[in-house]
Structure 1
Amino acid sequence: MSGLKSNRGNFLEDFAVGQTLEHPTPRTVTAGDVALYTALYGSRFALQSSEIFAQTCGLHLAPVDDWLVFHIVFGKTVPDISLNAVANLGYAEGRFGVPVYAGDTLRAVSEVIGLRENSNGKTGVVYVRTCGLNQNNQDVVSYVRWVMVRKRDEASVIAGHPPPELADHVGAQSVLSRTVPDFSNFDFGLSGEPHRWGDYAVGEKIDHMDGMTVEEAEHQLATRLYQNTARVHFNQFAEARGRFGRRLIYGGHVISLARALSFNGLANAVKVVALNGGRHVAPLFAGDTVFAWSEVLDKAEVAGRDDAGLLRLRLIATRDLACAQFPLPDEADGVILDLDMWVAMPR
């Protein structure tokens, strides 16, 4: 039986700096996707939950959750970039663009911007810049990620390139005012909390208190929702003989769980505008319980706006470890996610 028509995914030898990858297939986002995403994570942010609330913020409909947009675009890239990955290592320079609504069609394009072989001769790291576009060719999200990929042939020699120089964080001044909703009529009674931008201080840490246990079926359902085909998330037959002996939960699932949990203490941080950086510190498996806490790293004004401000947050997620002591990645085995992002909230 021939397997020549089947896609085995790209190995390290298949990438070259400057290469452009247009990822199939386009995906139309539906109200069903939004409802399923809510069912999976229980996110309660008012902007994405209520069309009436969204209209008071200058939008014509409730937008699709920022992380659902990210995951859909990310999922498009997996068959071309990370089907043969060992691990997704990190993110940088992420920006969220125009709002996405149910009915919009998303596609993804990536450029390879860095490539190097690891000293073990078996794997290497590929750096890509991905842009998600809607049906009008408008940017909905863009980001850099780097991923460790297997080589097809350990004897092959890879022409290395220095890693790209990436910004430590997205400059607040580069956040476009038009990507931040109008908060001049923000209803704090309906949003869930009274806290404004001015109520948060740099250095403040917020324990989001609640925990959420991950079930085997739901993390696989979520990953299918994004059409993410990475084998490590689904194929128990193969993973039983792998490094962990079981299916690994997609790191984006952790991001969405932590973001949903952050409602408790950050209910009015309704819009993610930039992803400064992040890494999946340790794996998560079904049966584990996720907790989260945030630290305010910085604050900034939105240019030309007196209704909105920006908070730079470090969002930490943990596994089976309540966050009262605020563990950091180098301080506790239970830390699984370390994410740095800018969010917009009313002043």
Structure 2
Amino acid sequence: MKTNPGRFFEDYRLGETIVHAVPRTLSGGERALYHALYPARGALYSSDDFARACGLPAAPLDDLIAFHTVFGKTVPDISLNAVANLGYAEGRWLAPVWPGDTLRSESTVIGLKENSNGKSGVVWVRTRGLNQRGEAVLEYVRWVMVRKNRATPAPEPVVPDLQSVVPATALTVPAGLDFRNYDFTLAGEPHRWGDYALGEKIDHVDGVTVEEAEHMLATRLWQNTAKVHFDATFREDGKRLIYGGHVISLARALSFNGLANAQMIVALNGGAHANPCFAGDTVKAWSEVLDRAETAAPGVGALRLRLVAVKQGAEPFALRDEAGKYRPEVLLDLDYWALVPR
């Protein structure tokens, strides 16, 4: 058999490292498509001149371009036969990605637990994205519910003990980054690190209706081959599931209105795709300030933010119901650190 049906739950072994195909060289084309697909307009990722004024040699590629590229490499080996992508933890952006860089991915299996129905199980992997010099540019843990293909004994369950928050002391600030000469007018908003209060909630106001064609173009762009995103016969309801990363990028771009100066994502503390998103849903977003931290870089502070994506019909700032479950309108609950001028 020369074709690849993808891995099923029983095919994973604790501790194994999977080297994913295929390396990908990124260019300004990915940036242009990213900015076309999402209303992304962060100044640091849009302008070489703005980036140079902030101490960088040029504008790096958007942090989520790196994430989607690294993630997409893993899909044929990790989530081709997934029921759902369940969550993220311990994510860190370790170095900027520049046009011309080539990224590849590798994942280590750090946890396995068969579900009680015996038809699926949860796989935890720690993934690293590496550039052409073998330097890690990104790492994160994710866990996925994967189908079983045959009856096999359940493995001894191993659930990894993961940090709930990446410590501020573990954040990587790009070399040379300096916000002392930050141009707030060109960035689009006047709000500094100290202007955000703990517990403050921000309604980002704008919304984007998800289109089938745009979602499939985006998912192909990141070479994500998961069947649930393309094959309408793969789900009983006949719907293509919108790639969760598409929702992340939409919400992140929408958060510009109120968080225009949250320039760089440097850590992903946790995240959950709370409910499925389908074509025709209108995505809106709100954020909550969870923490603040200083960094050693001149003029640079860090904000820990909760980014919540919701669809039409959601109540303002409503996240969970009385039973503690995500409300049905909530699509995404993401906890991350971003760098902000002080």
Shared fold by TM > 0.5?
yes
Instruction: Check the 8 A contact 2:305/2:338 in 1, yes or no.
Output: yes
* 2:333 maps to 1:338: yes
Displacement of 1:179 after TM fit?
Answer: 5.9
* 2:281 maps to 1:288: yes
Displacement of 1:160 after TM fit?
Answer: 2.1
1:279 is aligned, of 272, 276, 285, to 272
Amino acid at match of 1:273: V
Displacement of 1:333 after TM fit?
Answer: 1.8
Amino acid at match of 1:318: V
Instruction: Check the 8 A contact 2:229/2:242 in 1, yes or no.
Output: yes
Partner of 1:251: 244
For residues 277 and 255 of structure 1, the distance between their equivalents in structure 2, rounded to whole angstroms, comes to 12
Matched ranges for 1:1-347 at <5 A: 4-153=1-150, 155-178=151-174, 181-236=177-232, 238-239=233-234, 242-302=235-295, 304-321=296-313, 325-330=316-321, 332-347=327-342
For residues 121 and 174 of structure 2, the distance between their equivalents in structure 1, rounded to whole angstroms, comes to 39
Displacement of 1:180 after TM fit?
Answer: 7.8
Q: Secondary structure at the match of 2:206?
A: coil
Instruction: Check the 8 A contact 1:309/1:346 in 2, yes or no.
Output: yes
Q: TM-score, normalised by structure 2?
A: 0.96
Amino acid at match of 1:34: R
Q: 1:112-153, CA deviations, whole angstroms, 9 ceiling, x for partnerless residues?
A: 000111000000000000000111111111000000001111
For residues 9 and 92 of structure 1, the distance between their equivalents in structure 2, rounded to whole angstroms, comes to 24
Identity %: 62
Amino acid at match of 2:263: V
Q: 1:324-344, CA deviations, whole angstroms, 9 ceiling, x for partnerless residues?
A: x21114363211100000000
Amino acid at match of 2:71: F
Q: 1:251-307, CA deviations, whole angstroms, 9 ceiling, x for partnerless residues?
A: 0000000000000000000000000000000000111100000000011111x3341
Q: Secondary structure at the match of 1:25?
A: coil
After TM superposition, what 4+ stretches of structure 1 lie above 4 angstroms from structure 2? Answer: none
How big is the alpha-carbon RMSD for the aligned residues of Structure 1 and Structure 2?
A: 1.2
Displacement of 1:215 after TM fit?
Answer: 0.6
